[in-house]
Structure 1
Amino acid sequence: MQSLVKSITAAAVFVWSGNALALEPDPIEPLMETIPAGTFEMGSDETNNTKPVHSVAIKSFAMGKYEVTVREFRQFIDATGYEMPQQCRHELDAWMKDASKGSWDDNHPTTSDYQPVVCIGWTAANAYAEWLAAETGKPYRLPSEAEWEYAALAGARTKFHFGDDPEGMEICEYGNSSDLAGENILQRTANTSYVNFGGGLDGCVDHAGYSAIVGMYKPNRFGIHNTIGNVFEFTADCYHNTYEGAPTDGSARTDGTCEQYSLRGSSWHWKADSQTTRMGFGPDFVGGIEGFRLALDGPAPKKSKATKAFEADLKQAQTTQQKRWDRESYPAPVSGLKISQDDQMVTLTWDESADEEVYNYRVYRNVAKGGLFRQYADNIFTNSFRDANRLPGIYEYRVVAVKNHLQGNYSDAVVTLPGWTALPGRLEAEYFAKAEGATARGAYDETRVSMGLTGREGIETGAVMSYQVEVVEAGTYALKYRATAPRKGEGFELWLDGKRIGAATIAESGGYWDWQTQKSGTVTLPKGRHTLEIRSRDNEWKLNWIEFVPTKS
């Protein structure tokens, strides 16, 4: 644990400012609610790490109404000079980029002092709690997992504290997750989509593309806000893969090696999962969607002057933000999308919007059915679109209406018929006409949005993937292929029009994410249009592409 490098009194903080000493106010203590004592059934039978469901008796305690904000955390940094991480995983792409330059006060999602502080890690969150406890004489701390779940669900035994919400239409009243507002931001920032990713898109609008100013949504029955969405929250517990041996008195679990700590809740960048969901992260992991709130033994304390001043400023920030949200208006989804196609062209048509403020449309496309949608065409001022750059595989289009720079929800998808891949050249694995025993998913290989073939345990033994190929010139071609596997495997056979023409093994690459370009023998291809099949002879491997390279005569 990093030590605090300056000490302060509970009454005042003296910091050097220019050529004079400036008097800082008392530390801001969190706004809190008293949580009543009770017994509840902790966990769920839905996943292994939330089993076994077990009874926990909780003593009355106080819980922060909100996550700790940037403004509150700044006092800690100013007072102590605590050395914070300068690398954080906070920038968006197909998911989130690897760690890049960023810190608690300079990161991509944060634009307000009243958003939850992120890019901190468990270690700094715990240090903040210890500092505030020392400065106030009150034992502030991170909540235990049991306290967090008890306070978050507030007596409910449903997916969320307000109910199950299977259609995702109510959740935006209580928190922010992957919704239409977030989709607008994600497409604009990273040109990718929540559709077909991480649980998908909620059907409502929460207005926040990133984390929101704390307290912008309805609280639960205990008066606690933002236990759904906004940011994941660190707890005091050492993470274990199950609840076997977990405390039953509400205290934090501290046994084991404690290489990871339990993280609870959900975030603006995921479709919200059940409030029993849990995961573990190492104490030094630093990300842009993880924050924390505080707990305290006993009833909620009286508000200090600093806390009252913070509450008033927060109220003003919330009011200003709500006025901005109230001005937003999203157009209705596009209806009547239809598709027609030939070998060279795909034509889309749809019903014209009845909304007079809708002035253009955008077309979205993925590269394989079920894949992530990316914006493909913008500023379309009619209700039709022609695409001359069609792909060989089976893929989808969707269309949205645009109103005052905000796009509405997606139309229903339309699906192409399979096309033809010209050979010699590269055959992308996801461009199949039919596949059994494998699916197209993100490969994260040559680019973060590349696609490939995989399955539950890689491509299955016996899987068959069929492709429509057009051989421009008959000849003998050498095989190159981009694959990954945690072990050496039997690989695959190639069949052309029902006849076996070749085979290749798969070398161990090191793991499922360690892609490797491999080579095999040669195959002979006759000129013309054919059905090419890749038949898997093993499992636990993935394929990005196969390339047919002309051999020297």
Structure 2
Amino acid sequence: MTLPIHALLLSTVSASAQVTPIEPALVPVVNKEQQINLQMGKYEVTVAEFSRFVEATDYQVPKKCMLFTSTRWPDPDSPGNWDNPELTHNPHRPVVCIGIPGAMAYAQWLSEQTGKPYRLPTLKEWRVAASARTTSRSPFGEDWQQTQICKYENTEDLANLAGMQIDHQHRYRSSANCNDGAVYHTVVGMYRPNPLGLHDMMGNVKELLQSCQRWDNKNPKQCTHYDVAGEGWHWQTRGVFNADTIAADFYGSIEGFRLVLEQPAEGSERPFNDVFARKLADAQRQQRLAHQQLRQLPPAPAGVRAVRNQNNQVTISWQELADQSTRYSVFRSYVDPNGQLSRKQTQVAKDLSLGQFTDQLPGAGQASYRVAATTSPGQGPFSVQVETGHHTTFEPGQRIEAEHYVTQEHVYLIDHKEKNQQSLAFNDNPHHYPTGDKPLLPAWSSYQFKSHTQQDVELQMRLRADEGSQIEIWQGHHLVARVTGMTPDTLEIVKVPAKLIASDAPIEVQAGTQTWFMVDWLQFNPLASLEQ
């Protein structure tokens, strides 16, 4: 449903300076079946355009943005604003951190200054424009392997992974299988347009829309959640027809907007004015050079091996790359039998020029290693993981710390403030898929285990779970127990009846539903020991 722009929203907007607005370059969008005939902004609205609005009206954007930049990680306790220097140093990038109110206020100001009916698109209009009369996930094809997306969009990709590693020492496990040359949002129009001539519809920043998705129960005229479409640099691209919502009072640095002109489409595109068009073209040329450099990330090192001696020294070796300037980093994950050290992957060596490194382990626990190559553009992807050492085999009556898994899928470690405490989180969205494209990928972890007899036991687990979570415990092909009914978002010890079989098959903890939960430890207590 299309919303009128509420008068109260723009109560702070008043003309205070003679500033000429920059009207958007426009592209015709026509679909007779959907009764759509209008003109849409070719690009997302830039910092340069929004700055003129602020200069003219002294509009005040609330300082409550979840700022995400090379130096800032989103933190509700330390919000930022749209005019943060990292967001505005290049005025030809999309403006962000302005929220639904700021986007609507800008549209009304531009309408008042030009006498033309500008506004935000509706979800229906956006989908018609983004799909360009196709029915696939994107107008250039399904691209399920995500190898083509980087030609068309700035998305979560190999460049983004490298940038996150350098700036925030954080690296997601997966991304698009290509390199678009950008880490954060970039200058508008850097990639191929869709068949209608619209740029960045599926990437760069998510786009705020004026369609209301949820109304306030007490005030039916007040929208609490709006539609938002497309995807940004921080997320893998969603399909055109998979919508998302955003709270009316949310301000984020991954969300921007574009405008539509509610007038019948003219025969051809309408460009920016000459001055702004030249400035944008210059900015695109400069940004293209930066993109080309970042596209030269090194590949993952191959031939990685790990050899361990009796003194728990491990020699890791790999094939060196042809580029003599390449430097290598070695990352280790260590399973401490005494539970005193974190298993989280840590960097144990960096700036290595040769394909070999010897690591001294802190004890006899199992260890795994990955190697990454770094050149001037940044760090490339990790090598395959190699392992050395043996895992503990647990038995009934012994506490199994969750981080002592042998194998796993879609889990991650959480370090707690309490000394030497770790838990294992089971991820409901392991590959960072956007809402609507999130497939069912059950998370699980397995542990070496041996039960000498078949026996009834009491399963104890210390955990925290989201509402609706269901946890299954398997011993090989045997279902040992199913845990449900946990108190949402509460760290607790649950106790349920369970049945073990005589077997040395591993114990597996598996998510039974697509919800997040965290396990600290689990233990199978024989009933006989509980009765004593």
Q: TM-score, normalised by structure 2?
A: 0.73
Cα distance, 1:261 vs structure 2: 0.4
Match of 1:325? 291
Residues 466 and 159 from structure 1, CA distance in 2 versus in 1: closer, same or farther, beyond 3 angstroms?
A: same
Is the CA contact 2:329–2:347 (under 8 Å) kept in the aligned structure 1? yes
Is the CA contact 1:109–1:210 (under 8 Å) kept in the aligned structure 2? no
Is the CA contact 1:37–1:61 (under 8 Å) kept in the aligned structure 2? no
RMSD (Å), alpha carbons: 4.7
Say if 2:411 is the partner of 1:440.
yes
- CA distance, structure 1, for counterparts of residue 378 and residue 516 of structure 2: 42
Q: Secondary structure at the match of 2:119?
A: coil
- CA distance, structure 2, for counterparts of residue 175 and residue 506 of structure 1: 42
Match of 1:145? 123
Cα distance, 1:59 vs structure 2: 1.9
Alignment of structure 1 residues 225-240 onto 2, 5 Å: 225-239=199-213
- CA distance, structure 2, for counterparts of residue 194 and residue 541 of structure 1: 17
- CA distance, structure 2, for counterparts of residue 420 and residue 101 of structure 1: 45
Cα distance, 1:65 vs structure 2: 0.7
- CA distance, structure 2, for counterparts of residue 143 and residue 490 of structure 1: 40
Aligned residues: 465
Say if 2:53 is the partner of 1:76.
yes
Residue among 373, 385, 400 paired with 1:413: 385
Cα deviation per residue 1:419-450 (whole Å; 9 max; x = unaligned)?
3599xx99641222367xx9633558659x96
Cα deviation per residue 1:487-531 (whole Å; 9 max; x = unaligned)?
8999999x9xxxx9xx9x99965x2xx4537699xxxxxxxxx99
Cα distance, 1:356 vs structure 2: 3.1
Cα distance, 1:291 vs structure 2: 0.7
Residue among 33, 46, 64 paired with 1:87: 64
Cα distance, 1:394 vs structure 2: 7.6
Say if 2:195 is the partner of 1:221.
yes
Match of 2:25? 31
Cα deviation per residue 1:127-178 (whole Å; 9 max; x = unaligned)?
1111211221111000011111111121222221111223322211111111
Q: Secondary structure at the match of 2:322?
A: coil
Cα deviation per residue 1:271-290 (whole Å; 9 max; x = unaligned)?
21222221111111111101
Residue among 232, 252, 257 paired with 1:267: 232
Alignment of structure 1 residues 313-392 onto 2, 5 Å: 313-328=279-294, 329-341=296-308, 344-358=312-326, 360-365=327-332, 375-389=347-361
Q: Secondary structure at the match of 2:104?
A: helix
Residue among 159, 174, 192 paired with 1:181: 159
Letter in 1 for 2:45: V
Query: Which is further off, 302-311 or 382-391?
Result: 302-311
Match of 2:498? none
Cα distance, 1:256 vs structure 2: 8.3
Residues 214 and 487 from structure 1, CA distance in 2 versus in 1: closer, same or farther, beyond 3 angstroms?
A: closer
Say if 2:469 is the partner of 1:483.
no
Match of 1:452? 424
- CA distance, structure 2, for counterparts of residue 464 and residue 293 of structure 1: 44
Query: Which is further off, 400-409 or 273-282?
Result: 400-409
Is the CA contact 2:423–2:518 (under 8 Å) kept in the aligned structure 1? no
Match of 2:437? none
Q: Secondary structure at the match of 2:181?
A: coil
Letter in 1 for 2:358: R
Residue among 367, 392, 402 paired with 1:429: 402
Alignment of structure 1 residues 40-79 onto 2, 5 Å: 57-79=34-56
Unaligned runs of 5+ in 1: 15-23, 40-56, 242-254, 458-462, 470-479, 521-529, 549-553
Match of 1:399? 371
Unaligned runs of 5+ in 2: 1-7, 336-342, 430-443, 451-459, 496-503, 524-532
Residues 327 and 257 from structure 1, CA distance in 2 versus in 1: closer, same or farther, beyond 3 angstroms?
A: closer
Say if 2:168 is the partner of 1:161.
no
Is the CA contact 1:73–1:128 (under 8 Å) kept in the aligned structure 2? yes
- CA distance, structure 1, for counterparts of residue 485 and residue 31 of structure 2: 58
Q: Secondary structure at the match of 1:2?
A: helix
Is the CA contact 1:31–1:64 (under 8 Å) kept in the aligned structure 2? yes
Is the CA contact 1:186–1:192 (under 8 Å) kept in the aligned structure 2? yes
Q: Secondary structure at the match of 1:382?
A: coil
Match of 2:447? 466
Cα distance, 1:417 vs structure 2: 5.6
Letter in 1 for 2:411: A
Q: Secondary structure at the match of 2:92?
A: coil
Cα distance, 1:81 vs structure 2: 1.9
Say if 2:249 is the partner of 1:284.
yes
Say if 2:270 is the partner of 1:299.
no
Residues 7 and 440 from structure 1, CA distance in 2 versus in 1: closer, same or farther, beyond 3 angstroms?
A: closer
- CA distance, structure 2, for counterparts of residue 452 and residue 378 of structure 1: 27
- CA distance, structure 1, for counterparts of residue 131 and residue 345 of structure 2: 34
Cα distance, 1:220 vs structure 2: 0.8
Cα deviation per residue 1:375-415 (whole Å; 9 max; x = unaligned)?
55321222123343479988754322222252233333335
Is the CA contact 1:434–1:467 (under 8 Å) kept in the aligned structure 2? no
Q: Secondary structure at the match of 1:318?
A: helix
- CA distance, structure 2, for counterparts of residue 6 and residue 257 of structure 1: 20
Alignment of structure 1 residues 88-107 onto 2, 5 Å: 88-91=65-68, 96-98=74-76, 100-106=78-84
